Structure 1
């Protein structure tokens, strides 16, 4: 068994996760996990051809058993020192029930299980979304429930029952709000072993998932959003990786339990600019 390298685990084999891993993973072994094994293979191949030590792994994050299989395989190679979660479904990719199962419950499982095994002083980031920032504020009690309800009871919460979720966008927003709250609660637990965890909430970043949205039924909404945000454009995966690099490195040693909004100012414009719903007929 090789224990000379730290292990970095990436869930969600896409451009965003790969951009982050390329900043952080040199000299260490990378497990690239995705529910589509071919995606994990593709990203692993790209990393290996760039000189990284990467292996693909099939994981369904909405299954605790599958997540534990990933952790077990990674631990056979060394200690898990870094975890990056970029897995998830967009509103145009599935049903509201599936989005809640993957983006909300699945992320909660990942944060819980990796928190149990992360190396002393380890670090993690999970990718949330600007979408959670645009949703109307929840009550303090609802936020507390999202943050602290036992993971396997989360989907039984009244606010997450199917009849109370309007559509896939609402499911996605609730999932992303929950991600941020879970990170805050988990940061307290992770701190007991000197480990840190933060979330990043990107806006429109050009990736295959974003292109699904831009070319999907809400495409005009997203095109209008990045055209009217202060930055006037969508973002790039490497711009998210700039922030992730800070959070995952020693330079971010005083940052944990936080969420970083990287959206070119779209959320600011949504509340206080030309993207306000009263000024924007394309919702």
Structure 2
């Protein structure tokens, strides 16, 4: 069986089925259907405020679907008790946009933190595991440095090492390329692709970066206008004639992407309370 055939026959790690997501009485996205399988890099793209991060919050159970179902590892997140949800989250790794590193800990202890928190691994094994993960991101020799002593690009790689130290089956990246110089950006992209292949996990990127994401992704999904506008291979989307997709991919200032944030019932109530005019 080829790798492509193995991928097509495997069960999804993450599945959205007819999902609507939002906050209170405001729905951000409607009718999202998506399967993410082991070994895949999936890029979730769209303009600012289009709902990309909302999808990530749905995937981790931080918010519950307003309609439809979200399954992770075959389980309906909305039906899980808090303890079981915490167990499933330990099978996920999350790389936050700002890294969220502990500035009072050195590089080694930042990466070791999930192991100390969630396992009883012997110290010698823990040391070797952390050094292996730092080596995977090219920073083994930086283990002793404090966070203030490393660059922003290096800090992002430390955060990546921490995200994979428990060898998760699903890794969620929130804007992994934001603020990186071109070299660090390219390094990070190739690390994501390489680690996905090495661990056999599924990787989901919440990103604006078209060039680097298209270079490593198996599937690209573009959200906007409250829905999934397109999903396919990078080649499929690059050939799309959809005006929104063309505007986003090519960075055109004019097109169907709206400048104004949409008014919501919550805003209308707030405006009325403060005596403002519609």
State the TM-score, normalizing by the size of structure 2: 0.31
Larger radius of gyration: 2
State the TM-score, normalizing by the size of structure 1: 0.31
Higher helix share: 1
Higher strand share: 2
